[in-house]
Structure 1
Amino acid sequence: MKITAIKAWQIDLPLKEGRYSWSGGNYVEVFDSTVVAIETDEGLTGYAECCPLGSAYLPSYAKGVRAGLAEIGPHLIGCDPLALNEVNRRMDAALRGHPYVKAPVDIACWDILGKATGLPVYMLLGGAMQENVALYRAISQESPDQMAEKIAGYKAEGYTKFQLKVGGDANEDIDRIRATRAVLAVDDILIADANTGWTRHEAARVVGAVSDLDVYIEQPCASYAESVSIRRRTALPFILDEVIDGTDTLVRGIAEDAMDVINLKISKVGGLTRARLMRDLCVASGIPMTIEDTWGGDITTAAIAHLARSTPEKFCFSATDFNSYGTVTFAEGAPERVNGRMTAADRPGLGITPDFDLLGEPVLVIK
């Protein structure tokens, strides 16, 4: 089997809530997502999606996905899409870094592998370790009362895990954490996610001020060293996200006891091939994961669901149904939330079919 063409479509994904805000005053109202198709000489086509969280979150941006695909695409024509290691080797040889650009190519090749073997991707990633996966809900940064009110609303939809966007003014963040914990049941999970937004002294103040609460602290500072410094000052469970960007940082974090949980974002690490490796390292080391991505819609949610479903429940801290945050549905067969949980399809590959009437003409074609 050979790759004969790579195509990409751009699609806007407006938010139901109108705006998603996090640390540093950053926000997005309409996400710019890229849908990718890998076509083959045997009639099989694989699909994927990449949607960076704006341009001020990670070293990635929406137009960069499409520019990067134009750079690496010609090097992949004629390559066997089932030879995943060779596909990744060619991408790395053609473009240093930029894992988010390579992620949709890798994911689309997994989709082809599933279709070629007649198996859902979760089976190729290790098999069904759980029937469905628990979801968390991200709570956009607003006033303490507004965030508490939104949590109460999402609890009614079946969510029991909430990721609170903090990383702003330390005093207000303390109030946000206290106000939201107060509306939760004892067995609900609350995560205070600073998204690198606090300086070290601000983070030290916040973790000290909420030390009596049942709350996880996530990615308090911009650097690994700063965040680990805060880890050493608190007994609260600790999550790292942005600074765990590959196997090297993951291995370091495990060796140095830098975290209790990580957020494993598929596009941040370059696709399902590398995400699976990191997942397996975490399981072997006893580190649970939130399995997710930077953002996305139906196809991103499908990829998350397959990786999460193939992860033991004990180590799948939560996952994300990004397609429930937006107003646009563009793929048939995508996972749907049921009582705060979702599952991956049993159909071959990712189990989704893009709506090309909605997507329109591709913005990039490489043959």
Structure 2
Amino acid sequence: MIVTSPGRNFVTLKIVTDEGVTGVGDATLNGRELAVAAYLNEHVVPLLIGRDPHRIEDIWQYLYKGAYWRRGPVTMTAIAAVDTALWDIKGKVAGLPVYQLLGGRSREGVTVYGHASADTVDGVLAEVAKYVADGYKAVRLQAGIPGLSGVYGVHTGPGVYEPASAAVPAEAVWSTERYLHHVPSLFERVRDEFGPTLKLLHDAHHRLTPIEAARLGKSLEPYALTWLEDPVPAELQEGFRLIRRHTTTPLAVGEVFNSVWDCQQLITEQLVDYIRTTVVHAGGISALRRIFDLAALYHVRSGSHGATDLSPVCMAAALHVDVSIPNFGLQEYMPHTEETDEVFPHGYRFENGYLHPSEAPGLGVDIDEELAAKYPYRPAALPVNRLEDGTLHSW
């Protein structure tokens, strides 16, 4: 188990077979990293000793069903780390990149979207221009809201945006009224300047009620979003039916989901258009493929989370899934810091709006343990939101 913080915290599981073949899996749970590390060290790793690493599905079921206490982000992130590392091992033994073991390519490259954010609409326009110049075909737009400070998803300083900062959660003030009034003007400006073909996305980050989300989706219809992400907290999945009644803006959800059961109703009732579950939070490559296979039956496409709270190990794994599935939609991509890339040497590459998985056997990513040891863990909590009257609110 390797815990390192080259700019932010990551947890990595490295499995070594009795024949000396190694595999790596991401075990990072943003803001709760040490909980997963302890779960793996104390409850999972001892169970792996002496098992056949090629029995990936059997080991997955053993760790899921055998614990009795199923699901939950800590458990599923731990299972994901094991599953991903075992796929890495299987690919190396077979001499093939993992995507070949998943059925081979369904596309030449993985379309990714970048994050254009700034305090002002003019600042966002400048960021979009940079992404377009770099070849991106899809961009997520987030802007500061007049009268509010510290809005989640809005990057105001140099370097990589990272919401988890202080050991004690930072607090921000939120106003849904100000937000709903301002956001349409952002998309109007971007569409006017960059035309109809650039894919535009927006993250509401669970902060709305269903009828508020319906209002936002309807107001954004003239700007043809590719998706509106996380419009409401997804515990009440019935709420998505209300949103559907009022807007044709496509909906995306799922980065906090950790099993196919979290997705089932939304997918089978066609209440969302993109499912954003991830390798690391949904139980690994094996479980993510099951979710996307279910989604394919209901015209739902993938849109996996891929922010910097996931290590290059997870990004590499995601790309092998992305390039192989028939119902791929988009892949989020936030480049890591130079320090992170050095700790996690990898073979995937970005070119003209697409990411390409490594052609090396396995995942095509590793961890430099000696370099990782130079970046010790540091406590870093995600922020919280309060309304203007002080009520705690989704952030």
TM-score normalised according to structure 1 size: 0.82
Q: 1:308: Cα distance to partner?
A: 0.9
Identify which of 291, 299, 303 aligns with 2:313. Answer: 299
Number of residues of Structure 1 aligned to a counterpart in Structure 2? 332
The structure-2 alpha-carbon separation of the partners of 1:127 and 1:33, relative to structure 1 and needing over 3 Å to count, comes to: same
Separation of aligned partners in 1, 2:211 and 2:276: 24
Which stretches in structure 1 are left out of the alignment for 5+ residues?
1-7, 15-30, 56-60
Q: 1:299: Cα distance to partner?
A: 1.6
The structure-2 alpha-carbon separation of the partners of 1:353 and 1:116, relative to structure 1 and needing over 3 Å to count, comes to: same
Could you say which residue in structure 2 is the equivalent of 1:124?
101
Separation of aligned partners in 2, 1:201 and 1:74: 49
Could you say which residue in structure 2 is the equivalent of 1:32?
9
Secondary structure, aligned partner of 2:228: strand
Secondary structure, aligned partner of 2:221: coil
Secondary structure, aligned partner of 1:210: helix
Identify which of 44, 66, 70 aligns with 1:72. Answer: 44
What letter matches 1:126 in structure 2? G
Separation of aligned partners in 1, 2:289 and 2:301: 13
Superposed CA RMSD in Å reads: 2.5
Separation of aligned partners in 2, 1:73 and 1:203: 43
Could you say which residue in structure 2 is the equivalent of 1:5?
none
Q: Note if contact 1:130-1:310 (Cα within 8 Å) is conserved in structure 2.
A: yes
Identify which of 4, 7, 12 aligns with 2:5. Answer: 12
What letter matches 2:240 in structure 1? S
Q: Note if contact 2:4-2:375 (Cα within 8 Å) is conserved in structure 1.
A: no
Separation of aligned partners in 2, 1:238 and 1:321: 19
Q: Note if contact 2:214-2:242 (Cα within 8 Å) is conserved in structure 1.
A: no
What letter matches 2:312 in structure 1? D
Separation of aligned partners in 2, 1:250 and 1:48: 23
Q: Note if contact 1:160-1:189 (Cα within 8 Å) is conserved in structure 2.
A: yes
Summarize deviations over 1:64-118 as a string: whole Å, max 9, x none.
2212212222122222121112211232223532212221111001001111111
Separation of aligned partners in 2, 1:80 and 1:170: 54
Could you say which residue in structure 1 is the equivalent of 2:70?
96
Could you say which residue in structure 1 is the equivalent of 2:261?
248
The structure-2 alpha-carbon separation of the partners of 1:160 and 1:226, relative to structure 1 and needing over 3 Å to count, comes to: same
What letter matches 1:197 in structure 2? R
Q: Note if contact 1:170-1:203 (Cα within 8 Å) is conserved in structure 2.
A: no
Separation of aligned partners in 2, 1:242 and 1:298: 17
Structure 2 counterparts to residues 1-367 of structure 1, below 5 A: 8-14=1-7, 31-52=8-29, 54-55=30-31, 61-70=32-41, 71-92=43-64, 93-94=66-67, 96-97=70-71, 98-140=75-117, 142-165=119-142, 169-215=179-225, 216-223=227-234, 224-242=237-255, 245-293=258-306, 295-312=309-326, 315-322=327-334, 324-328=335-339, 329=341, 330-360=343-373
Secondary structure, aligned partner of 1:183: helix
Q: Note if contact 2:345-2:365 (Cα within 8 Å) is conserved in structure 1.
A: yes
Secondary structure, aligned partner of 2:25: strand
Q: Which one has a larger percent strand, Structure 1 or Structure 2?
A: 1
Q: Note if contact 2:201-2:229 (Cα within 8 Å) is conserved in structure 1.
A: yes
Q: Note if contact 1:291-1:316 (Cα within 8 Å) is conserved in structure 2.
A: no
Secondary structure, aligned partner of 1:38: strand
Summarize deviations over 1:182-224 as a string: whole Å, max 9, x none.
3333111111221212223432332232232211222200132
The structure-2 alpha-carbon separation of the partners of 1:245 and 1:35, relative to structure 1 and needing over 3 Å to count, comes to: closer
Q: 1:275: Cα distance to partner?
A: 0.6
What letter matches 2:296 in structure 1? V
Secondary structure, aligned partner of 2:337: coil
Separation of aligned partners in 1, 2:216 and 2:295: 28
Separation of aligned partners in 1, 2:83 and 2:376: 20
Q: Note if contact 1:75-1:90 (Cα within 8 Å) is conserved in structure 2.
A: no
